[in-house]
Amino acid sequence: MTESKSSPWGTNPSPASSKKPDRGTLIGVGGMWLAKWSAILVVIAAGALVLGWIIQKMWVIVLPVALAIVVSTILWPPTRAMTKRGLPPAPAASITLVLFFAIVGGIIAGIVPSVVNQVPDLANKATEGINTVQDWVKGPPINLQDEQLDNAVDAVVERVQGSAASIAGGVFSGVTTAGSLLVTLGLVLVLSFFFIKDGPRFLPWLHRVSGTNAGAHLEEVFTRMWVTLGGFIRTQAVVSLIDAVFIGIGLVILGVPLAPVLAILTFIGGFVPIVGAFVAGALAVLVALVANGFTTALIVLALIIAVQQIEGNVLQPVLQSRSMNLHAAVVLLAVTAGSSLFGIVGAFLAVPVAAVSAVVIRYIGEQIDKRAVDGEQDDVTMALPAPGDTAFPDPNASTDKTPDPDQD
């Protein structure tokens, strides 16, 4: 007589109930699963292409709205502070906008002329720095041949010229579509006013229109996106300002020419993470190499690396919540994709878009986790044997019972 083998769930089921499915059945099930998810991915990709086409066609509207949202995240805290003290929303928004554009206009009026006057010198210094590096690599220990170096330089120059043309087109693509820079700035000004004046009414209106269930999800997602975007923009502004101040002071102490211009470029480059800091730092090192020599260039390089390390390891973790952090690879890919699609404007908006997209993905993941865990618990409960089963003996029948810490 053959004995039945034991299993973790008690005795083995009957041979009829343990019959394995046919290979063809398994292959068919796997093929249907693969086909279903392939079709889903194709539909998602098609939807992304359609969305990109719509954004491209509506760029004349999308660009002012995106810039107005960015401006609104900066101007909302002072507007909210004034409304809490009893000032009506419209006067509070007007005062905030006037002060903001007055400050920005004063800074531009005071800095731009000197920057414009020094840009030719900056370009000459950068060219001299490239020539110095070129002469250095010709000597030992590298000893590159003139022909190899000339070919490499020509390739780089052609690439830079092509990139400059595409970047210039990207910068002015949305502006020229709108008609002029003045029209775009006017739209940004008007939209920013309405956003900071009527912004608190948007979520309640959306909740009423979309219904109770969908409205609750949309309200939560948009609230998180607004908090993330505002924190990100304000943090980048503070971090960029600190970088520009410390690097500018260091360049002045070291006697590097064009220090104010390089500090301004550092501040502007801070809004394009990784890429902007790298370009501004490389330019400062080149100018220091030509004007002050190799030793000063090394000191400037060490200064820039030290400031960037302090920024990445101290300032951002302190000023910016962990929930808003994006991996460096994600930031780099976002900046690359944004700059290739929409030029400098795309590079500037790429990281905020990636940040709010990450908020949406995290929220969807949270909802999936809730439903997946609940469903798994339900399935496991249904599959458990009865308390009297040998695989799951009744805990109350055990003589060595561990007391429940939740009980009194």
Domain count along the chain: 1
Asked if residue 23 belongs to a domain, the reply is no
End-to-end CA distance of the chain: 52
The whole-model pTM stands at 0.63
Asked if residue 266 belongs to a domain, the reply is yes
The H-or-E segment that residue 13 falls in is none
3-class state of residue 391 by DSSP:
coil
Q: Using one digit for the tens of pLDDT, what is the confidence trace for 294-321? A: 788 889 889 888 887 887 667 666 665 5
3-class state of residue 128 by DSSP:
helix
Asked if residue 358 belongs to a domain, the reply is yes
Q: Using one digit for the tens of pLDDT, what is the confidence trace for 130-165? A: 677 667 766 666 666 666 666 666 665 565 445 444
Range of the domain at 242: 122-179+211-379
Burial bucket for residue 303 (CB in 10 Å: 0-12, 13-18, 19+): buried
Give 270's DSSP letter: T
Angle between helices 294-310 and 275-292 (to 10 degrees): 160
Asked if residue 117 belongs to a domain, the reply is no
In the prediction, which pLDDT does 49 show?
92
Asked if residue 148 belongs to a domain, the reply is yes
Q: Using one digit for the tens of pLDDT, what is the confidence trace for 27-44? A: 988 899 999 999 999 999
Asked if residue 151 belongs to a domain, the reply is yes
Q: Is the pLDDT of residue 66 over 80?
A: yes
Asked if residue 171 belongs to a domain, the reply is yes
Asked if residue 88 belongs to a domain, the reply is no
Average the pLDDT over 256-275 and give the result.
Answer: 78
